[in-house]
Amino acid sequence: MAFISTPEPADDFLEQNRAPAGHIPNFVTLFAARPDVYDAWKQLNGAIKANMDLRRYELVTLAAATALKSSYCSLAHGQVLADKFYSDTEVAALVVEPPADPVDRAVMAFARKVALAADTVTSSDVEDLRALGLSDEDVLDIVLAAAARSFFSKTLDATGTTPDAAFRNLPSSLAEALTVGRPID
């Protein structure tokens, strides 16, 4: 599963972090070595997510995850988009094609830029988002979500933590499109 060994996690940590589908995610086992970091991650990510529309949060997260070639995060957040907002085909297309909606397209492009080359973001990039009706707070939320995704995706990939076998239950075309890096466990 991972390149590093982690101590046997306490049962209560595993149970407290069991996925809604009933399995223990591979990333939970990884973070069992540093439960305080995982708790801080949940708090940070929850605070970021609380300030955003869920659909936009998931689009930003998917954009950052696919740019970073994080299969784990692409699969997880692509699944949310497919469950709540789009068809499987539409989500699969978001991996390689910009969305038709100009705001969504700009938001996803900006999130990719933040994830891959934040040092190249310019005031013009922000002005382009403002011109589409986004507030400075909206822009900050996109930056926070993309930057936070970078932390989580890079942590999983650098430790060799593979996406959960449960992702094999996704429709094959969706799973294939969202597997942009490490293969499913």
Angstrom distances, CA of residue 138 to CA of 38, 57, 144:
26, 10, 10
pLDDT in tens, the chain (185 residues): 689 887 776 668 888 888 887 888 999 989 988 999 999 999 999 999 999 999 999 999 999 999 999 999 999 999 999 999 999 999 999 999 999 999 999 999 999 999 999 999 999 999 999 999 999 999 999 999 999 999 999 999 999 999 999 999 999 999 999 999 999 98
DSSP 120: G
Question: Domain map of the chain by residue range?
Answer: 53-178
Secondary structure class of 162 (helix, strand, coil): coil
CATH of domain 53-178: 1.20.1290.10
Dig out the tokens for 139 from the structure.
Answer: 């822009």
Angstrom distances, CA of residue 104 to CA of 167, 168, 174:
26, 28, 20
Supply the pTM of this predicted model: 0.95
